[in-house]
């Protein structure tokens, strides 16, 4: 048996230090999905053109399919699973984007939406009241084959309003899905 080419890498994911044994060129996307079972980050293209694998690094949106685990080592990332603030074992404070997505009934198949939400959350952390043009230029790096763009735009405006109304991120969940609007 030849010596293993795999190495151990440490990275911070959703506030926890995680150690993974992997090939150095493994994209962060596959580390998250296959090794850490954080499957909210989606594989859509693997070549950085669809946005489904978007995660945060220091609040900025990055494509996890374009970052190798060796370069990710020592860095800190947040995935869709870590976007909401956990208040205790049972309750989450959804991020305002997540809540706005529910309020605007954005999702159809929903597959692209974690990536969309991560991008939108990063946008709002830099532009508290983005214009339609800001939204279009940022979100156009993502693909939604269900074409939910109009509702995404509305949801981002709504999230911006929620954030400006309440500086602390997030709103109380238990937010009824499937309720009447």
Applying the rule CB under 8 A, the residues between 150 and 169 that interact with another protein are 150-153
Task: Give the SS3 label for residue 128.
Answer: coil
From its phi and psi, is residue 113 left (phi > 0), alpha (psi between -120 and 50) or beta? alpha
Q: Tell me the closest approach of the beta carbon of residue 140 to another protein, in angstroms.
A: 4
Q: In the numeric block, which tokens belong to residue 8?
A: 């151990």
Give least dist CB 4 to another protein, A. 6
Closest CB 157 distance from another protein, rounded Å: 13
Q: At what angle do helices 113-126 and 96-103 cross, to 10 degrees?
A: 120
With contact defined as beta carbons under 8 Å apart, do 92 and 113 qualify?
Answer: no
Instruction: State the minimum distance, in angstroms, from the CB of residue 30 to another protein.
Output: 4
One residue of 13, 67, 80, 160 binding another protein per CB under 8 A: 80
- The residues facing 11 across adjacent strands are 18
Residues 6-25 within binding reach of another protein (CB under 8 A): 6, 22-23, 25
Please identify which residue in 49, 86, 126, 129 interacts with another protein, judged by CB under 8 A. 49
Q: Does residue number 46 form part of the binding site for another protein (CB under 8 A)?
A: yes
| CA distance to 18, 23, 38, 114, 164, per residue, from 6 (Å) | 16, 5, 21, 30, 47
Residues 108-137 that bind another protein (CB under 8 A): 108-114, 117, 135-137
> What's the CA angle centered on 83, arms 41 and 149, to 5 degrees?
65
Q: Pick the stretch among 47-55, 56-64, 122-130, 157-165 that binds another protein (CB under 8 A).
A: 47-55
């Amino acid at each position: 048996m030849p010596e293993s080419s795999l190495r151990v890498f440490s990275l911070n994911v959703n506030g926890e230090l995680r150690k993974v044994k992997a090939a150095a060129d493994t994209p962060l996307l596959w580390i998250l999905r296959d090794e850490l079972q954080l499957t909210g980050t989606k594989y859509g293209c693997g070549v950085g053109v669809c946005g489904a694998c978007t995660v945060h690094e220091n609040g900025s949106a990055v494509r996890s399919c374009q970052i190798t685990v060796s370069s990710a080592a020592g860095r800190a990332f947040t995935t869709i699973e870590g976007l909401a603030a956990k208040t205790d074992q049972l309750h989450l404070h959804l991020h305002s984007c997540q809540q706005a997505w529910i309020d605007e009934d954005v999702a159809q198949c929903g597959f692209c939406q974690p990536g969309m939400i991560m991008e939108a959350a990063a946008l709002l952390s830099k532009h508290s009241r983005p214009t339609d043009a800001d939204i279009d230029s940022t979100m156009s790096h993502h693909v939604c084959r269900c074409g939910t763009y109009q509702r995404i735009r509305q949801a981002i405006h709504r999230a911006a309003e929620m954030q400006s109304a309440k500086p602390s991120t997030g709103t109380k969940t238990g937010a009824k899905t499937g309720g009447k609007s």
